[in-house]
Amino acid sequence: MRSPGMERRIAIGHDRASLDRIARPDAALAIWWRKVPEPLRSALATLDLSAVDNLSVEVDLCESVGPALQEAGYRGTAYARLCEDLDMLMRRHAALTGEDRLRVRLAVVETPIAGRFDADDAMLAMTCTYIGPGIQWCCADGLDAIYEVPTGAVGVFKGRRLLDPPLVLRREPAMAAAEGRRLVLTIDPPGGCDRDGAPRSRPQADLI
């Protein structure tokens, strides 16, 4: 059960406009509570994750992420459906930040041990897990209650550039070997990441 304080920090809704609530000064996380759209889900079911490369690219809003997806090895229906969804999410992120250039990362992730909860330096980091368990999060003052942005749902986390100290922390979930790999999207403004594409972060808790 969410506390009144948590209600102010976390905004959850069932349409893309729900993400606009991250603009509230006391909001730390906004979630568009959706499933992976059915055409995309069906296309991803045919995707061989071992045959695609991780993608990390800066894209102008007037461009499509399509060429980068093709270079990373995405083909056919999976390419077309992912390109459509990623381009839409880029536009949503740009509407929130006013940024006309964004960093887009699409990574195949295999995490045997859950990471440490942290918050990065990006202004607004948008995440979506297309395959596998979603990103876990908790309130900075309530580390005993761990939640998840479900698979397919879109989360926008407010980073330290806008909210320091952070009110919400996040981490990658642990996965058993039998669960295979995850496909995770992150969109943020350039400059919120290190040169290798990893988010700059400061550990906040040692929960494992």
Which pLDDT score is estimated for 63? 92
Which pLDDT score is estimated for 177? 58
**Number of other residues whose CB lies within 10 A of the CB of residue 177:** 7
pLDDT in tens, 106-149: 999 987 777 789 988 888 999 999 999 999 999 988 767 899 99
In this prediction the pTM is 0.87
Which pLDDT score is estimated for 193? 43
Backbone angles phi, psi at 95, to 5 degrees: -65, -30
pLDDT value at 30 more than 80: yes
Which pLDDT score is estimated for 144? 72
Which pLDDT score is estimated for 176? 64
Which pLDDT score is estimated for 2? 53
Give the length of the chain: 208
Closest CA to 16 of 153, 149, 164, 197: 153
Asked, as a colleague might, if the bond just before 165 is cis with ω within 30 of 0, I would say yes
How far apart, in whole angstroms, are the C-alpha atoms of residue 126 and residue 49? 22
In the three-class reduction of DSSP (H, G, I as helix; E, B as strand; rest coil), residue 203 is classed as: strand
Which DSSP category does 174 fall into? P
Q: What is the mean pLDDT of the chain?
A: 86
Backbone angles phi, psi at 142, to 5 degrees: -145, 60
Closest CA to 128 of 111, 149, 110: 149
pLDDT in tens, 113-123: 777 899 888 88
pLDDT in tens, 167-200: 999 998 887 655 688 999 999 998 754 333 333 3
